[in-house]
Structure 1
Amino acid sequence: MKLSEIDITRLFSVGSKMSLMVWADGPNWPVSYTSPNVVELIGYSKEDFESQRVDYKRLVHPDDYDRIRAEAADAVADLTRESVNHSDYRIRHADGHWVWVSDTTLIDRYEDGSRRNMFGYLIDITERKSLELALELERNRLKLLLDATRLGTWEWNPQSGQVLFNERWAQMFGYSTAELGDHVDSWSSRLHPDDYDRVWELVRAHRDGETPFYESMHRLRHRDGHYLYVLDRGKVIERDSSGKATRFAGTLTDISAQKHSEMEARRAAHAKSVFLANMSHEIRTPLHGILGIASVLKDTDLDANQRNLVATIKESGGYLLNTLNDVLDLTRAEEGQLRIHRGRSDVVAIFDHLQTLFAQTAVTKDIKLSIRVNTEVPKILLLDKARVLQVLSNLINNAIKFTENGEVEVVAGWQKDNNHKKGELVVTVKDSGVGIEDTRRIWQLFEQERSGIDQAQSGTGLGLAIVRHLVQLMNGTVRVDSRLGEGSTFTVTLPSSAMAENELADPTFVGLERLPPMRCLVVDDNSVNRLIISEMLKTLQQQCELANNATEALELLQQRPFDVVFMDIHMPELDGLQATKMIRDMPLKQPYIVALTANAFVETKTQALRAGMDNYVTKPFVREDIARILIQAADALDANQQKGDQ
């Protein structure tokens, strides 16, 4: 059966995605015939083409034109060719956008072989082409990403064991892909023996659907024998009808440099911690003697000059202790070990304490010090009182230090939020001092703002770094406004909650009137330390005996009962931790054991408590610290007695 022109036209008019075209011989590729649906394909009508109002040649995209013209010319010139197979190209729609078409053209020749007509069909492939281009773009982006990140890739069939590595994966370990082989053994045989079982367990867990993905950091052996640290990640991307994994793909990253840097940083951090622990101990031990003796002397019969000398000793020792504590706090903050302990705190009492603490310093410099709490501030707030005092003490100390004349004003205010109990404690510390030129520099560790500051006003550069760390830990903010020569204003904002007054339960405000007499044993190999604590205990009306070492202490405990034992941790032969464990195993009335140490690190406190000690005090300590410990000991002993009576 032979199709007529009408039949062909009907056939091509069925859909809008395919149109028939007949091109006559001519310079502008004139269209002598087209199916009516061409208007739906590229927006021009059948009459537009057949009347020559539209030249087909001018519709072809400029970037495609030379290629299309060359393909057609080559086909026409080759008398054996009966068709032209054009690659996809673009033609301009009547509304201006570009339409991707697939063009299959047949050549109609005269008897001498010259071209008469060319006819064929155009198919709108814009949608398919867009998907192809998007896919190609994604492939290129993935390739660029893999090249940029230097990722190795792999694919593994868990059923057959076949594995494929890309070139980058092979290069990481000094091989070519051909040398690696195509079985999973070529990978597993390179695993470090200490990592082997763990890695395979992670692979199995994901392969069997127990984990959402596979991720492992382990070591793989390089061709030359050394091991690389790698981060290996993957996922099952195909399973068969029974649910078994048939395609497992992933990436490999060489993290050796980062891992070695991390290990080096850990070694450095450990060395720093050991150094700080040793230095802290060595400094605290003599400092304990200085402050301890001074605290005992101040309660003796002294004349005015002697009291001033003792006060000077305490002030100088206190400054040294604060500096040492600042260094340790910064170390803890950097290592994430600094903790905030919020409790119910009397706000007025906090600021009264600050007034007492700095009043004499302000008088000595002839500076007016004004500290007040606005009436809207709740009396009791949930705060870490010790850290708040540390922050404000640093700021007030700086304000007084860098103010030669004028005043320092400290004001506490309260900003409520929608919840009537919650809000922010806002404290401003304003001075009329030298001011600050570079307000960004002052927050950096060991940095000081130098303009207008002479050597007499210099310090460690630790205070404001500590302030920033502590305020951030308390979820607050601190800012400074300053002009050189006009003074500075520091504003600290701390989120908090108001508490009822009857909820106050702060041991700091408990007096010594209920402290009962107890029999105390002091165990320390240092004679100065024994002298200091024994004198403190005597002023607190406590009975006290001394032991030069742990062995002597064990003998005394077997001879007679003691209520409280103050045990030095670091002693020769038998240390305080070992002695405590032995005491806890002895068949005697168990005393309340308090650790004494110059080591201020959290690890030491943890070790002491695990050894069986009940409490912990860091040297240097003062009489008030021992009093607080004794109150806690009395409460604990009373509670134990009541349990025994039941």
Structure 2
Amino acid sequence: MKWEAPLGKFDIFENSGSVFAVEWSDEKCLIMQSFSSNIRLWLSQDTLTRNKFPTVFVYPQDAVSRATLIQNIKQNSQSSIKYGFRNLNGGITYVCEELLSDTNGIVTSIFTDITETYQHNLEVSEVSERLELVLEGTRLGMWDWNPQTNDVVFDERWANMLGLRHCDLTQTLSDWENRVHPDDIEGCFTDIMAHVNGEVGFYENTHRVMHADGNWRYILDRGRVVKRDASGNPIRFTGTHTDVTELKKAELRAQESLSAKNKFFARMSHEIRTPLHGILGTADILTKKNLPSDAEHLVQIINDSGEQLQILLNDLLDVAKIEEDTLEISIKRCDIVKSLKTVFNLFKQKAESKGLEYTFVNNTPTASIFIHTDPSRINQIISNVISNSIKFTNNGFVKLTIDVVGGEFFVHVEDSGIGIKDTSLIFNPYTQEGTVASKSMGTGLGLSIVKSLCEKLTIQLHIDSVPKRGTCFRFNLGRVIKTATTAKKMNKAESQEKTGVSNKKVLVVDDNDINLLIAKTMLGECFEIVEIAQSGKTAIDLVSKHRNYDLIFMDLNMPEMDGIETSEKINQLNLANPPIIVAQTADATEEAKALLKTASIDNIITKPFTKEKLTALIHSLNIRARPS
């Protein structure tokens, strides 16, 4: 462009700290004719003496670009360029040079210092490039949503993730919403609103989105509200999409594999429990007979071996439930002293048979202490620990102690056994310490289950152990809610029930001859009338005909008509005095127990069971007996 230079043409720049001017004496703008005096703020006297301006360029390519600019200025195709040069302090000053040509063809350059702006833009550019590299490397698709207008800016990666082109998008919420699986959309908006309402710091949800190829892709969606209006309404909600389909599929495969393994355990448990019930039931009946001493010893071996197998089955099932997080907990008010005494008595014979001093110590002044917990799980925890103490103590003592400190109930199980070298490892599944002989005495699952149950019940567990001197397990079961100085005395009628024979009528339904024999023998010691049915159909016929059974023991797994269907049909008879139905099954899974509710069966006894277990169940049903 042509420029008329005024008088004192550079005076305007004299006091400027950001603009200076140079008039050139040649067409290539290499030699400085004159310049504004403030140029000394940028260029040294040495540079000015050498006069050739290109010698101060930082980068050779800048000089090439400037030479091209000089050539193009004659065609007015370009009149400015940005570059950096060495300044007075040896650093770099970034300038924008604009060339002006006057009527005489003399070219003047006006230089504007843009260092601050240039560096800011450079930083922004570097951040943008870094972000772009991160997004590219992590395969993240970006979205920027205005919830008030539902306008959304989706980037190209977001579109490509779903097999789309960027131009295919309407840049509205429907681009995403219409592609989300119908079963997942409600959960998405629930999580979105939880964040919008301030309930959670960030939005995160994994859901299925339809790909252009017709397949569902699992998308990890994350975001955050970054701007709100004066009323607090979100007006900018930004986030990312990540395709986690392969990871999700791997997770589902792992869950299916775990489920298949646990179903295998459950099925094998059922198949083993059925004959085991026959073995232990027969052995239990034999222990009540007058047998020669050598026969008694052999029966005891059968009992002990069967109990070990039963413990193994129970442990495997519990581990499976823990892994699937389906282990059920039922919290209720219970007399914990009574419960622990029952557990203690279960192991009395075993401890005394090894010659151990086996004691129960109550350091409280009360006979009954009530807490809120799951008594069956507490029994399982303490049983595991006492069993281990007896197992790994060859001489000395095993002691169960209870105490109340600061209103909380504590249980100690202490022994003088072989001790534990590393207490941090014993809670790992399938991990055992000790000799080869001692390791062969279990699966290493018991204490793993103890730890899991303590976590479920929020029980504080502490263990102290000294190798070759013994171990002490300490449990804090929680707050005491009530105490009683004396235990409830059993009245005469109740006492008679414990030993008497009831005149109630009982029906045992089972397709297995051995199970029928065992159940009838055990029940015959409690009831005067015990009848049997070997199928569901026979059971229904008997109940329809006699209509006076007080109690029915129903096997769940029978051919043609199983125990669930049989029980439902009996309930449909609408009897004036319907019998109490007790399910007897070798299937101890939670799914099996859930099925009982459909047939209105509230009681269950798991095979194998002993006479003591059967008697305890009968008394819990409040079936009145008469003295024999």
Shorter-chain TM-score tier? 0.7 to 0.9
Q: 2:478 aligned with 1:496, yes or no?
A: yes
For 1:283, the equivalent position in structure 2 comes to: 272
Residue 393 of structure 1 pairs with residue 375 of structure 2? no
1:329-374 superposed Cα distances (whole Å, 9 cap, x missing partner): 1111111111222334444444544543334333333444455344
CA contact (8 A) 2:583 2:601 kept: yes
Equivalent residue for 2:247, pick from 258, 268, 285: 258
Q: 1:534 aligns with which of 507, 511, 520?
A: 520
* SS across alignment from 1:461: coil
Q: In the alignment, which residue of structure 2 is the partner of 1:142?
A: 131
Give distance in 2, aligned partners of 1:392 and 1:202: 42
Q: Equivalent residue for 1:44?
A: none
Provide, for residues 96-145 of structure 1, a one-character-per-residue CA deviation record: whole Å limited to 9, x for no partner.
xx9x9764457899999999x9765546737x955x46644543343233
Output the CA distance in 1 between the equivalents of 2:312 and 2:490: 23
Shift of 1:282: 1.6
Aligned-residue offset at 1:208 = 13
Shift in CA distance, 469/215, structure 1 to aligned 2, threshold 3 Å: closer
2:140 and 2:157 in contact (8 A); partners too: no
Alignment partners' CA distance in 1, 2:295 and 2:226 = 84
Letter in 2 for 1:460: T
SS at match of 2:58: helix
1:403–1:432 CA contact under 8 A, matched in 2: yes
User: Does the CA contact (< 8 Å) of 1:23 and 1:33 recur in 2?
Assistant: no
Displacement of 1:465 after TM fit? 1.7
Structure 1 residues 65 and 584: alpha-carbon distance in aligned structure 2, compared to 1, 3 A threshold: farther
Moved more, 65-74 or 298-307: 65-74
Structure-to-structure mapping, 1:444-483, within 5 angstroms: 444-449=428-433, 451-454=434-437, 457-478=440-461, 480-482=463-465
Distance 1:209 1:401 in 2: 53
In structure 2, relative to structure 1, the CA distance for the partners of 1:521 and 1:124 (3 Å cut) is same
Residue by residue, what CA displacement relative to the aligned partner does 1:379-404 show, whole Å, maximum 9, x if unpaired? 33333332223223222322332333
Structure 2 CA distance, aligned partners of 1:424 and 1:129? Answer: 69
Whether contact under 8 Å (2:393, 2:415) holds in the other structure is no
Seen in structure 2, the aligned counterparts of structure 1 residues 390 and 234 have a Cα distance that, compared at 3 Å, is closer
Residue 544 of structure 1: which of 495, 517, 530 is its match? 530
Separation (CA, whole Å) in 2 of partners of 1:393 and 1:327: 16
Give 2:562's aligned residue: 575
CA contact (8 A) 1:407 1:431 kept: yes
- Shift of the 154–441 alpha-carbon distance from structure 1 to 2, 3 Å rule, reads same
After TM superposition, list the pairs within 5 Å mapping 1:191-202 onto structure 2. none
CA distance in 2, matches of 1:358, 1:404: 15
What residue is the counterpart of 1:39 in the other structure?
none
Whole-Å Cα distance in 2 between the matches of residues 32 and 265 of structure 1?
Answer: 77
Deviations 1:57-97 (A, max 9, x none): xxxxxxx972499559957995979987444799899xxxx
In the other structure, the counterpart of 2:218 is: 230
Cα displacement string for residues 197-227 of structure 1 (whole angstroms, at most 9, x for unaligned residues):
557889999999999989663364576x8x3
Give the structure 1 partner of residue 614 of structure 2.
626
- Alignment-derived partner of residue 306 in structure 2: 317
Given the alignment, which residue of 308, 317, 322 partners 1:328? 317
- Distance (whole Å) between structure 1 residues aligned to residue 341 and residue 413 of structure 2: 16
Q: 1:628 to 1:51 in 2, by over 3 A?
A: closer
- The letter of the residue matching 1:443 is F
Partner of 2:116: 125
Greater Cα shift, 609-618 or 405-414: 405-414
Partner of 2:596: 608
- Relative to 1, partners in 2 of residues 1:197 and 1:386: Cα closer, same or farther, differing over 3 Å? closer
Preserved contact between residue 97 and residue 110 of structure 2 (Cα < 8 Å) = yes
Contact kept? 2:13, 2:20, Cα under 8 Å: no
Change (3 A) 1:234 1:299: closer
Does the CA-based 8 Å contact 1:436-1:487 persist in structure 2?
A: no
Give 1:519 shift: 1.6
Contact kept, 8 Å, 1:566 with 1:593, in 2: the verdict is yes
- The residue number in structure 2 matching 1:427 is 412
Indicate conservation of the 8 Å contact 1:522/1:544, yes or no.
yes
Q: 1:628 to 1:347 in 2, by over 3 A?
A: closer
- Tell me how far apart the structure 2 counterparts of residues 23 and 370 of structure 1 sit (CA, whole Å): 106
State the SS of the aligned residue for 1:144.
helix
**Alpha-carbon distance between aligned partners in 2 of 1:552 and 1:77, rounded to the nearest angstrom:** 107
Would the aligned equivalents of 1:215 and 1:233 in 2 still touch at CA under 8 Å? yes
> Are 2:413 and 2:473, in contact at CA under 8 Å, matched by a contact in 1?
yes
| Structure 2 counterpart SS, 1:442 | coil
Name the amino acid aligned to 2:412. V
Render the CA deviation track for 1:30-50: whole Å, top value 9, x for unaligned.
998459xxxxxxxxxxxx969
Percent identity, please.
28
Change (3 A) 1:90 1:134: farther
Cα distance, 1:557 vs structure 2: 1.3
Give the drift of 1:232. 6.4
Distance 2:141 2:529 in 1: 74
Residues in 2 aligned to 1:436 and 1:531: alpha-carbon distance in whole angstroms: 46
- Tell me the TM-score normalized by structure 2: 0.72
Change (3 A) 1:161 1:394: closer
Q: Check the 8 A contact 1:402/1:453 in 2, yes or no.
A: no
Q: Which amino acid aligns with 1:444?
A: N
Deviates more, 1:64-73 or 1:510-519: 64-73
Q: Deviations over 1:392-418 (max 9, x none)?
A: 3222322332333444455445553xx
- Output the CA distance in 1 between the equivalents of 2:364 and 2:353: 30
Provide Cα deviations, 1:207-258, integer angstroms capped at 9, x if missing partner: 99999989663364576x8x3533164889999xxxxx99998754333322
Q: Aligned Cα RMSD in Å?
A: 5.7
Q: 1:160 to 1:446 in 2, by over 3 A?
A: closer
Task: Quickly say closer, same or farther: Cα 1:558–1:456, change in 2 above 3 A.
Answer: same
Q: CA deviation at 1:574?
A: 1.7
1:599 to 587, 595, 605: 587
User: Please, which moves more after superposition, 570-579 or 302-311?
Assistant: 302-311
User: Which runs of 5 or more structure 2 residues have no equivalent in the other structure?
Assistant: 25-29, 49-55, 198-202, 229-233
Q: Which residue of 2 aligns with 1:38?
A: none
Q: 1:402-413 counterparts in 2 under 5 A?
A: 402-413=392-403
Distance 1:542 1:630, change over 3 A: farther
Q: For 2:537 and 2:183, how far apart are their aligned partners in 1?
A: 48
User: Aligned AA for 2:563?
Assistant: G
Shift of residue 601, structure 1, vs aligned partner: 0.9
Q: Aligned in 2, Cα 1:357/1:165: closer, same or farther, shift over 3 Å?
A: same
| Alpha-carbon distance in structure 2 between the residues aligned to 1:539 and 1:86 | 106
2:192 and 2:593 map into 1 onto residues whose CA distance is 45
CA distance in 1, matches of 2:170, 2:439: 74
Are 1:562 and 2:549 matched, yes or no? Answer: yes
Q: Secondary structure at the match of 2:478?
A: strand
- Tell me the TM-score normalised to structure 1 length: 0.70
Counterpart residue identity of residue 531, structure 1: L
Supply the distance in 2 between the matched residues of 1:448 and 1:209 (Cα, whole angstroms).
46
Q: What is the identity, as a one-letter code, of the residue corresponding to 2:598?
A: R
Question: Using a 3 Å threshold, how does the CA distance of structure 1 residues 111 and 292 change in structure 2: closer, same or farther?
Answer: same
Aligned CA distance change for structure 1 residues 319 and 340 (closer, same or farther; 3 Å): same
